[in-house]
Amino acid sequence: MSDWGESILQSLSRHLQSGYPERRRLALRGLLVLSQDPVMDNIHVQLLSIALFRKVLKLVVEEGKQPLQTHVIQSLLPLFFLSHDENEHLADASWEVLIRALRFLKRRDLKNMLEADKPWWFCDCLVESEKKRVVEFMWQAMPYLESPQEPLQELALRFIGIAAKYLRKGQEEDELIIEVIIDTLQGMTADSPTISNPERND
């Protein structure tokens, strides 16, 4: 990605303007993958991908929202995490696109919670309103547990705690994510501030 990221984005941009719906869907999916990857070593690529996603949100208003609605919902949590990144440019760009995405989805409730600086209400309301995606949300949060940025680790840990309330007992996929989370937490060093200072998570 550090060598070819910008070229890939240019290719995605061209396919987003394709006359073939399937190409547009694939290009958008690729864009989301790029923007959601917390271990990408190139901030410039992340900023470009978020900027491109912002343009997509503007364009699809004219063509109809329904085909992209699912993809936009899938982008909410990664954008939420990125809006807390230590890189101010990335955080600001992610925040702006997150707000645009919520307007696109007409989720004024979630938008108001963010703007009122109530992130945990936002997380709880997001999962509550999208219960069928709880496992997907938790998979999205998992990589941030291993982020080199302590605030992102803490954010992921608290989100997973919120989302865990909505898991269903006896469901194979739900129990699998619990096992993976436990393994991940056990693999984190005991001196990790997020783990060793639980009072900070109250």
Q: What is the average pLDDT value for the chain, to the nearest integer? A: 79
Is the model's pLDDT at 168 over the cut of 60? yes
Instruction: Look at residue 34 in the predicted model and tell me its pLDDT.
Output: 65
Q: How far is CA 49 from CA 53, 103, 104, 191, in A?
A: 6, 19, 18, 35
Confidence of residue 79 (pLDDT cuts 50, 70, 90): very high
Q: Does 138 or 171 have the greater pLDDT score?
A: 138
Q: Tell the residue number behind the tokens 């998992």, with chain if given.
A: 142
Average pLDDT over residues 90-117: 92
Is the model's pLDDT at 67 over the cut of 90? no
Average pLDDT over residues 76-98: 92
pTM here is: 0.68
Question: Cα–Cα distance between 109 and 76 in angstroms, integer?
Answer: 14
Confidence of residue 54 (pLDDT cuts 50, 70, 90): confident
Average pLDDT over residues 83-92: 92
Q: How far is CA 30 from CA 26, 37, 118, 148, in A?
A: 6, 11, 31, 24
Is the model's pLDDT at 114 over the cut of 90? yes
Q: Does 44 or 145 have the greater pLDDT score?
A: 145
Average pLDDT over residues 159-163: 91
Q: Does 44 or 118 have the greater pLDDT score?
A: 118
10 Å CB burial of residue 112 (0-12, 13-18, 19+) is middle
What is the per-residue pLDDT across 13-41, written as a single tens digit (0 to 9) for each? 777 677 777 777 777 777 666 666 555 57
What is the per-residue pLDDT across 125-141, written as a single tens digit (0 to 9) for each? 999 999 989 889 988 99
Confidence of residue 179 (pLDDT cuts 50, 70, 90): confident
Instruction: Look at residue 57 in the predicted model and tell me its pLDDT.
Output: 72
Kindly list the domain boundaries of the chain, sorted by start residue. 133-202
Instruction: Look at residue 170 in the predicted model and tell me its pLDDT.
Output: 64
Q: Tell the residue number behind the tokens 């982008």, with chain if given.
A: 75
Question: Cα–Cα distance between 14 and 28 in angstroms, integer?
Answer: 11
